[in-house]
Amino acid sequence: MSGSEQENLVKSAKSLDFIRKRIVEDLNSGKNGGRVETRFPPEPNGYLHIGHAKSMNLNSGVAAEFNGACHLRFDDTNPEKEEVEYIHAIQEDVKWLGFDWGQHLYYAADYIEQFFQYAVELIRRGLAYVDHLSPEQIREYRGTLTSPGQDSPYRQRSVEENLDLFERMRQGDFREGECVLRAKIDMAAPNIAMRDPAIFRIKHAPHHRTGDKWCIYPMYDFAHSLSDAIESITHSLCTLEFEDRRPLYDWVLDNVSSPCHPQQIEFARLDLTYTVLSKRKLLQLVKEGIVSGWDDPRMPTLSGLRRRGYTPAAIRNFCSAIGVDKTNSVIEIGMLEYYLREDLNKTSPRVMAVLRPLKVIIDNYPETQVEEFEAENSPEDPAAGTRKIPFSRVVYIEQEDFSENPPKGYFRLSPGREVRLKHAYYLTCNRAVKDERTGEITELHCTYDPESRGGGTPDGRRVKGTLHWVSAEQAVTAEVRLYDHLFSQANPNAVPDGQDFRSALNPNSLVTLRHCRVEPGLAQASPGSRYQFLRHGYFCVDPDSSPGQPVFNRTVGLRDTWAKLQKKG
**Contact status: 278 vs ligand ATP (CB under 6 A):** yes
Active-site residue among 20, 279, 412, 517? 279
Q: Quote the least distance from Cβ 220 to Mg ion, whole Å.
A: 7
Number of residues that bind ligand ATP (CB under 6 A): 15
DSSP state of 268: P
Active-site residue among 31, 142, 269, 453? 269
Of 240 and 290, which has the nearer Cβ to ligand ATP?
240
Which residues, in sequence order, are CB contacts of 167 under 8 Å at separation 6+?
none
Tell me which of 270, 336, 389, 480 binds ligand ATP, using CB under 6 A.
270
Q: Is 551 helix (H, G, I), strand (E, B) or coil?
A: strand
Alpha-carbon gap, residue 390 to 424, rounded angstroms: 10
Q: Quote the least distance from Cβ 234 to ligand ATP, whole Å.
A: 15
**Contact status: 364 vs ligand ATP (CB under 6 A):** no
Which of ligand ATP, Mg ion, none sits in contact with 300, Cβ below 5 to 8 A by type? none
Whether 369 and 390 have beta carbons less than 8 Å apart is answered as: no
E strand map for 242-401? 263-267, 350-351, 353-354, 357-362, 371-376, 386-391, 394-398
Active-site residue among 21, 31, 35, 43? 43
Secondary-structure percent of the chain, ordered helix, strand, coil, rounded to 5: 35, 25, 40
According to CB under 5 A, which residues from 9 to 68 bind Mg ion?
A: 43
Q: Quote the least distance from Cβ 44 to ligand ATP, whole Å.
A: 8
Tell me which of 157, 279, 393, 485 binds ligand ATP, using CB under 6 A.
279
Q: What is the CA radius of gyration of the chain?
A: 31
Which of Mg ion, ligand ATP, none sits in contact with 239, Cβ below 5 to 8 A by type? ligand ATP
Q: Quote the least distance from Cβ 49 to ligand ATP, whole Å.
A: 7
Q: Quote the least distance from Cβ 288 to ligand ATP, whole Å.
A: 17
Q: Quote the least distance from Cβ 128 to Mg ion, whole Å.
A: 23
**Contact status: 493 vs ligand ATP (CB under 6 A):** no
Which of Mg ion, ligand ATP, none sits in contact with 278, Cβ below 5 to 8 A by type? ligand ATP
Of 51 and 218, which has the nearer Cβ to ligand ATP?
51
According to CB under 6 A, which residues from 47 to 66 bind ligand ATP?
A: 51-52, 54-55
Q: Quote the least distance from Cβ 188 to ligand ATP, whole Å.
A: 29
Neighbouring-strand partners of residue 195 = none
Alpha-carbon gap, residue 43 to 48, rounded angstroms: 9
DSSP state of 62: H
Alpha-carbon gap, residue 225 to 248, rounded angstroms: 9
Which of Mg ion, ligand ATP, none sits in contact with 155, Cβ below 5 to 8 A by type? none
**Contact status: 324 vs ligand ATP (CB under 6 A):** no
- Which segments of 172-311 does DSSP mark as H helices, in order? 220-230, 246-255, 279-287, 302-308
Distance of CA 276 to the CA centre of its chain: 11
Which residues, in sequence order, are CB contacts of 239 under 8 Å at separation 6+?
55, 266, 267, 268, 269
Q: What are phi and psi of 467, to 5 degrees?
A: -110, 150
Whether 50 and 305 have beta carbons less than 8 Å apart is answered as: yes
Alpha-carbon gap, residue 465 to 410, rounded angstroms: 9
Of 248 and 358, which has the nearer Cβ to ligand ATP?
248
Q: What are phi and psi of 451, to 5 degrees?
A: -80, -10
Residue 279 falls in the annotated catalytic set: yes
Which of ligand ATP, Mg ion, none sits in contact with 65, Cβ below 5 to 8 A by type? none
Number of residues that bind Mg ion (CB under 5 A): 1
Of 97 and 277, which has the nearer Cβ to ligand ATP?
277
Residue 269 falls in the annotated catalytic set: yes
Alpha-carbon gap, residue 507 to 486, rounded angstroms: 8
Residue 113 falls in the annotated catalytic set: no
Which of ligand ATP, Mg ion, none sits in contact with 42, Cβ below 5 to 8 A by type? ligand ATP
Q: Quote the least distance from Cβ 54 to ligand ATP, whole Å.
A: 4
Which listed range, 36-44, 197-205, 321-329, 499-507, lies at the site for ligand ATP (CB under 6 A)?
36-44
Q: Would you tell me the crossing angle of helices 112-124 and 159-171 to the nearest 10 degrees?
A: 160
Query: Other CB atoms closer than 10 Å to residue 408's CB: what's the count?
Result: 6
**Contact status: 41 vs ligand ATP (CB under 6 A):** yes
According to CB under 5 A, which residues from 456 to 475 bind Mg ion?
A: none
Alpha-carbon gap, residue 16 to 26, rounded angstroms: 14
Which of Mg ion, ligand ATP, none sits in contact with 41, Cβ below 5 to 8 A by type? ligand ATP
Q: Quote the least distance from Cβ 113 to Mg ion, whole Å.
A: 23
Q: What are phi and psi of 265, to 5 degrees?
A: -130, 130
According to CB under 6 A, which residues from 60 to 99 bind ligand ATP?
A: 75
Q: Quote the least distance from Cβ 334 to ligand ATP, whole Å.
A: 18
Which of Mg ion, ligand ATP, none sits in contact with 57, Cβ below 5 to 8 A by type? none
**Contact status: 239 vs ligand ATP (CB under 6 A):** yes
Alpha-carbon gap, residue 438 to 235, rounded angstroms: 69
Alpha-carbon gap, residue 395 to 60, rounded angstroms: 51
**Contact status: 269 vs ligand ATP (CB under 6 A):** yes
DSSP letter for each residue of 410-467: --SB-TT-EEEETTS-EEEEEEEEE-TTT--EEEEEEEEEGGGTTS--TT----S-EE
Of 197 and 357, which has the nearer Cβ to Mg ion?
197
Tell me which of 23, 127, 194, 277 binds ligand ATP, using CB under 6 A.
277
Query: Other CB atoms closer than 10 Å to residue 278's CB: what's the count?
Result: 13
**Contact status: 43 vs ligand ATP (CB under 6 A):** yes
Cβ density class 497-514: b for 16+ within 10 Å, e for less: eeeebeebbbeebbeeee
Catalytic residues: 43, 269, 279
Q: Which residues contribute to the site for Mg ion (CB under 5 A)?
A: 43
Contact residues for ligand ATP, defined by CB under 6 A:
41-43, 51-52, 54-55, 75, 238-239, 269-270, 277-279
